[in-house]
Structure 1
Amino acid sequence: MKKMKYIKIVLVGFLGFLSSCDGFLDVVDLDELTSGTVYKTETDLSYALNQLYTFLPQGDVEGSAPVLPYFWTDEAIHRNINDGGGRQESDFNWTINSSVLDNFYRYPEIADINFFLQALPDAEFFNESNRARFGAEARFFRVWIYEAMVFAYGDVPLITTTISADDLPERTPRIEVFNFVLSELDAIIAILPEASQYAAADNGRITKGAALALKARACLNAVGWHSDPASLYVEAEQAAAAIVNSGEYSLVEGIEGFAQQFTSASDLVSPETILATAYVPEFRTNSLPRRLPPKGAWRGLEATFGNNQSRPGFTADFIEEVQTINGLFPINDPSYDPANPWENRDPRLAVSVILPGDLLPSKGNPDLDYEFQPHPNINPNGTADNINSTVNPTGYNFRKYLTFDIPALDRADVDIKVIRYSEVLLMYAEALAGQGKEAEALVYLDQVRARVGMPLYAEIGLPTITRGTTGNQMIDAILLERRYEFAGEGPQRWFDIWRYKLGDQVITQVYGIPESTELPGDLIGPKFKADGDSYNRVWNDKFYLLPIPQKVIDANPNIRQNPGW
């Protein structure tokens, strides 16, 4: 049984509980199911706790999806043509009413968690040892949300109890909320079990490793604004070291092991998974395969949705900076062949990106090959995937989590990996590098490269980053590795640009595939501008904090807007 298939909405759980009454003729009026009548027992609280797991990022490119902030980086865009949200704000035409930017301001979820924690002490437990763990799991979700809000918005109201609808809290200073996050994490780390200590039926629950990883991530995300970044590197190092030294996690070897993390083969069994959003059929928590495939590709015998997907795309800036198998940027490698640009590249490129010329199962018949070709002048399949049609306008499609062996692409059953062990290794390396411990940092950086067969920097030397540099060569190399490792997967690149203030160095006009019909990997000739000039993005330092949603300010006069908005 896939992990966390036990997650159901609270009402479903309560109905199951009611159906187990001793007398099958006992009747309970559903109108009597109130917060005062159901948050009473361990069973009640277990159902309510399971509901909190739905607050983790969903498998999608919108809303609270882990992919959404990736469109706010130099590596990707999203052509959204259907609604007022428009382009998922990846054109950087942001306003105080851009609803897409509101997705980290999550006080309804905070209210649910606070109510749960308020009910927990008075509930009757069959197994008293579960009470502390339930509380630790709920507190994890609360700090998960607060950490994201502190990063995205700065000062936010810190609310840790249930409050009246008439209360109008002010914004709490960023440092106070951040300190709360760290103190809460320290407290629950001491309570939560290791992954191996859970029974099989509880696989997928929050673990000590997940809390430690969130602490490391929180500390590193704060180095750009905190008054004492040196201390943050130390705390991040300690948290990451505890995970590494626990022996609970490891990388799955080879490029096959890397690719496996985005298939159902990794669910339950992967030693890389530290935190994941489990697929739950009732919630359809993984819609990524529906969003990603080229229009000409197979969509399943039972596919009933339209053909208006395939809008996320990688930029030429990312594609052209993925190293060759020699550990060099293509422009610096004499062996790079622009006529065969996908040969002899970092193998993670082919796992992460659908590239021009790739063969996929055909929309008409999955037993036939279909060639993905987005170039307007050489597209052999009419206009289906032509970058001038309603698809992603760069010609480089997302591939992670895409699968064609399911009844329909909106029925994918892969768990979304929120934190993988490779991120811990790279956070460990970054924390060490931030303290000047470069030799130690290199060990963990090279572990990630070695897994996929890339040359070790210990042997070839660190790369020289000329675009988007922090001024620290080791940290630059680590951020580059994060680009390769997490491409199209989550918010990591967003974290990196914002916390090291790289926006003015990397956010510019978005380009797609080369205009050349003979050299698909042309590095020096003209390229198609993504959707004309629509993605001529202009950086503004006010973007380092998202705007507080205007509807929040309208409802609460004590909330003031972030600078510049």
Structure 2
Amino acid sequence: MKVMKPKILIAILGLAIFASCESELTKTPDFISEEVVFEDKNLTEAYLSNIYQDMLFIHVSGEGNMDMGMIPAAGAEHINFADWQTPNTTYRRAYTAAAGAGPLNYWGYNSIRDINFLLENIVSSQSLDETYILQKTNEARVLRAYTYFQMVIRFGGVPLITKVQNIDDPEEELYPKRATEQEIYEFILSELEDVISMMPDTRTGAAGRVDKYTALSLLSRASLYAASIGKFGQVQANGLVGIAPGDVQELYQTSYNASKEIMDSGVFALYNKHADKTVNFTQLFLDEGNSEVIFAEVFEPVIKGHSLDNLGTPAGFAATWNSNYPVLYDMVELFDFVDGRKGTDISRSDLVASKSWDIDDFFGKRDPRFKASVFYPESEWQGDLAYFHTSTTYTNAAGKRVTATSGTLDRNGESWPAACAARNARNTSLLLRKKLDESNTEPISGRSGQDFYVFRYAETLLNFAEAAFYLGKPGEALDALNQLRDRAGMPLLTEATEDNIRHERQVELAFESQRFWDLIRWRIAPKYLDKVRTKGLVFAYDMDIDRYVITLKNAESQDRVFGPERFYLPISQNLIADNPNLEQNPGY
């Protein structure tokens, strides 16, 4: 591993930089040594804010934040508009030792180094009071645990570094071996359990600052992941990957306990502000700081904005890019109907040119969470309709049936496009709607401000249900699942099973960067991601009967590949060259 040398200087951040009216173009920049940062609260907060900024809560890289769809693309939920966009390469590329983990790579040791530096130095402050020091120390330890969690779900065991490395350290510290996957999880869980015992009940997570409930949420998620790997995976490479099966029940219990503590706190509740179930689920992600938000990465237009609205809005509206996140039909089939029909009750063999469909029945009567999450033909948006059909067939004035693919037609006195904008139909003829802000009628790149919910109470209930089920408490699992289904307006379940627990999780947390990791920890990813050609739809509108012919098409140019080696990502040869003590993962 390349030696992480101490930083010498950091720029003074915040108001200090802007206090002077003199030209910042000609003024010599002010800098301050790290050694005195922790003698001043403003500088300490600036240092910690920089750590937050570097955290991988969501991918916001790529031109115009196109990489926000990285993990959903990997998990076959939605893809990006064009193959040249980085998220699409997550499922098309072949992972090799030479290439490493590619777009999914995260080797977070710069953040680890910054956190370790804070932990080592803030305790020696002569100016900061003990309560403040403890608060910032606990905050930093949670962020360090989160960083290790992001690495362990990718690589299994990684080097465990808990002190700042210096050039004169012993070689075994400068070039550390990988800890086992179990040791990394044990470190994460022990760190979280320790800080939770010292953190106050104050809620700051919705405002983007780690609190006790953030730590509990990470403890709930991380221990559930570890339990799954122990139950469904196997230990390999002398423990570099894998969790001992004998620890599974204890790990489920840890997740159960952490989830229950959040549930029993009375601080959080499912968002239920609107009677209309679709409106309610839509507003959940726009009404920021609500009762369901446990921890969020906070965005603000201009100051720290993103481009979701500009990228995601369908063509035909004011967005300058648009239509960037085509939803895969494979994901749509997971959403059941409010009358109890399964999403898969519509057989793919019925999607043929000889059969037509009422669009409201095909889509509009599905789970309200679907309608709040996906654009489909004639979805209402900003006072108009979103279109996805490639042609319109109708009877003309001469009484002849004709098909038009361009121009505008009259439909019962209203203007009707013979075909949609090409971008809307290019991949799947379905688009991501979840988290888009309908009030943003002129979206601009970098000017959207929806927060990204890293942890929300719905996940707590899902974690609880899964852990309770495997601990032999199906009644408690069922109650947690039905709280979610009741909020969504879906028929209540009569029993909790492994299948419906997993199904509910994928539907509730759809497009929230969870499914890919869930499929991996359950060790069922090959079923959905290997030798699978995902599907899109083609819509042809029949104006005479107000119905659509719906047929399937391939959404991607090739089959997805997910061999068993892909449960872990490869460590690149560059990293191994930096640290020859790093061992490669099995299968690479």
1:479 matches 2:505: no
- Correspondence for 2:462: 426
Find the partner of 1:448 among 477, 484, 492.
Answer: 484
- The alpha-carbon distance between structure 1 residues 515 and 43, as it changes in their structure 2 partners (threshold 3 A), is closer
Offset at residue 542 of structure 1 (A): 0.9
Q: Could you say what secondary structure the match of 1:504 adopts?
A: helix
Find the partner of 1:244 among 247, 255, 263.
Answer: 263
Q: Could you say what secondary structure the match of 1:187 adopts?
A: helix
Distance 1:230 1:278 in 2: 35
1:373 matches 2:388: yes
Please tell me whether the aligned partners of residues 400 and 489 of structure 1 are also in contact (alpha carbons under 8 angstroms): no
1:180-219 mapped onto 2 (5 Å cutoff): 180-196=187-203, 203-219=207-223
1:118-267 mapped onto 2 (5 Å cutoff): 118-164=120-166, 167-196=174-203, 203-222=207-226, 223-225=228-230, 226-227=243-244, 228-253=247-272, 254=275, 255=277, 256-263=279-286, 266-267=287-288
- The alpha-carbon distance between structure 1 residues 425 and 261, as it changes in their structure 2 partners (threshold 3 A), is same
- Correspondence for 1:23: none
Distance 1:388 1:397 in 2: 9
Offset at residue 212 of structure 1 (A): 0.7
Question: 336-345 vs 33-42, which deviates more?
Answer: 336-345
1:552 matches 2:575: yes
1:288 matches 2:308: yes
Please tell me whether the aligned partners of residues 156 and 172 of structure 1 are also in contact (alpha carbons under 8 angstroms): yes
Distance 1:426 1:395 in 2: 31
Please tell me whether the aligned partners of residues 77 and 91 of structure 1 are also in contact (alpha carbons under 8 angstroms): no
Q: Could you say what secondary structure the match of 1:249 adopts?
A: coil
1:445-524 mapped onto 2 (5 Å cutoff): 445-458=481-494, 462=495, 474-490=497-513, 492-507=514-529, 508-514=532-538, 520=548, 522=550
Find the partner of 2:329 among 312, 316, 321.
Answer: 316
Distance 1:415 1:142 in 2: 22
Distance 1:539 1:94 in 2: 10
Distance 2:176 2:19 in 1: 42
Distance 1:41 1:64 in 2: 38
1:269-348 mapped onto 2 (5 Å cutoff): 270-281=290-301, 284-299=304-319, 307=321, 309-332=322-345, 338-340=357-359, 341-348=362-369
Amino acid at match of 1:408: P
Distance 1:86 1:208 in 2: 33
* Residues 144-203 of structure 1, C-alpha deviations (whole Å, 9 max, x = no match): 01012111110111111111368222211111111000000001111222244x6x9x94
Amino acid at match of 2:469: A
Question: 10-19 vs 29-38, which deviates more?
Answer: 10-19
Offset at residue 484 of structure 1 (A): 1.4
Identity level (%): 28
* Residues 392-447 of structure 1, C-alpha deviations (whole Å, 9 max, x = no match): x1122111221243453331122111111010011111110111211111000000
- The alpha-carbon distance between structure 1 residues 394 and 435, as it changes in their structure 2 partners (threshold 3 A), is same
Please tell me whether the aligned partners of residues 388 and 421 of structure 2 are also in contact (alpha carbons under 8 angstroms): no
1:104-115 mapped onto 2 (5 Å cutoff): 104-115=106-117
- Correspondence for 1:89: 90
1:356 matches 2:366: no
Offset at residue 477 of structure 1 (A): 0.7
Distance 1:160 1:66 in 2: 30
Amino acid at match of 1:477: N
Offset at residue 285 of structure 1 (A): 4.4
Find the partner of 1:408 among 426, 443, 450.
Answer: 443
Amino acid at match of 2:444: L
Amino acid at match of 1:216: S
Offset at residue 330 of structure 1 (A): 3.6
Offset at residue 376 of structure 1 (A): 7.0
Query: Is there any run of 5+ residues in structure 1 with no aligned partner, and where?
Result: 1-8, 21-27, 300-305, 362-366, 463-472
- The alpha-carbon distance between structure 1 residues 92 and 434, as it changes in their structure 2 partners (threshold 3 A), is farther
Distance 2:252 2:181 in 1: 18
Please tell me whether the aligned partners of residues 534 and 554 of structure 2 are also in contact (alpha carbons under 8 angstroms): yes
Question: 424-433 vs 41-50, which deviates more?
Answer: 41-50
Please tell me whether the aligned partners of residues 185 and 215 of structure 1 are also in contact (alpha carbons under 8 angstroms): yes
Distance 1:499 1:521 in 2: 38
- Correspondence for 1:73: 75
Offset at residue 19 of structure 1 (A): 5.0
Q: Could you say what secondary structure the match of 1:457 adopts?
A: coil
- Correspondence for 2:401: none
- Correspondence for 2:399: none
Amino acid at match of 1:530: A
Offset at residue 310 of structure 1 (A): 2.7
Q: Could you say what secondary structure the match of 1:90 adopts?
A: helix
Distance 2:344 2:251 in 1: 36
Offset at residue 221 of structure 1 (A): 1.0
Distance 2:159 2:138 in 1: 21
Distance 2:434 2:130 in 1: 42
Tell me the TM-score normalized by structure 1. Answer: 0.81
Distance 1:548 1:291 in 2: 32
- The alpha-carbon distance between structure 1 residues 555 and 432, as it changes in their structure 2 partners (threshold 3 A), is same
Distance 2:147 2:484 in 1: 28
Amino acid at match of 1:234: Q
- Correspondence for 2:560: 537
Number of positions where the alignment pairs a residue of Structure 1 with one of Structure 2: 507
Amino acid at match of 2:520: W
Amino acid at match of 2:195: I
Q: Could you say what secondary structure the match of 2:326 adopts?
A: strand
Distance 1:521 1:153 in 2: 45
Larger Cα Rg: Structure 1 or Structure 2?
A: 2
* Residues 33-60 of structure 1, C-alpha deviations (whole Å, 9 max, x = no match): 2223434333321221222222252474
Offset at residue 281 of structure 1 (A): 4.5
- The alpha-carbon distance between structure 1 residues 520 and 36, as it changes in their structure 2 partners (threshold 3 A), is farther
Distance 2:125 2:142 in 1: 20
Offset at residue 76 of structure 1 (A): 2.6
Distance 2:148 2:418 in 1: 47
Offset at residue 126 of structure 1 (A): 4.3
Query: Is there any run of 5+ residues in structure 2 with no aligned partner, and where?
Result: 1-8, 21-26, 169-173, 231-242, 393-404, 407-416
Please tell me whether the aligned partners of residues 324 and 333 of structure 1 are also in contact (alpha carbons under 8 angstroms): no
Q: Could you say what secondary structure the match of 1:342 adopts?
A: helix
Distance 2:576 2:548 in 1: 49
Q: Could you say what secondary structure the match of 1:537 adopts?
A: coil
1:384 matches 2:421: yes
Q: Could you say what secondary structure the match of 2:295 adopts?
A: strand
